[in-house]
Amino acid sequence: MMNVTCFFCKKEYSINSSDDQYFKIKKNPKASYVCKDCNTSMQKEAQRSTGLNPDAIDPYSKYL
């Protein structure tokens, strides 16, 4: 277990190896943690402001 603080909402969280960001922070303790609520909120805001839906993007186009 590791205690972290969300970069945006400043809430404290205890995370373990099942969290996607656990190994990133374990490898680099100065890395920022973003909680799931803030991450979802930022993604929705980005979709609203750009009008882009990530599901509509061709996953292979980045390799062209």
Supply the pLDDT for residue 60: 73
Tell me how far apart the alpha carbons of residues 45 and 34 are, in angstroms, rounded to a whole number.
Answer: 15
Please, which pLDDT band fits residue 52 given cuts at 50, 70 and 90? confident
Domain range for 17 is 2-51
Domain annotation covers residue 56: no
Distance CA 60, CA 38 (A): 28
Q: What is the DSSP string of 31-54?
A: S-B--HHHHHHHHHHHHHHH---G
Q: Is residue 8 part of a domain?
A: yes
Decide if pLDDT at 13 tops 60: yes
Query: Average pLDDT, stretch 28-37?
Result: 96
pLDDT of 56 higher than 80: no
Q: Per-residue pLDDT for 58 more than 80?
A: no
Residue type, 10: K
Whether pTM > 0.85 for this model: the answer is: no
Q: For residue 15, is pLDDT > 80? A: yes
The answer to whether residue 60 is domain-embedded is no
Q: Tell me which DSSP letter residue 26 carries.
A: H
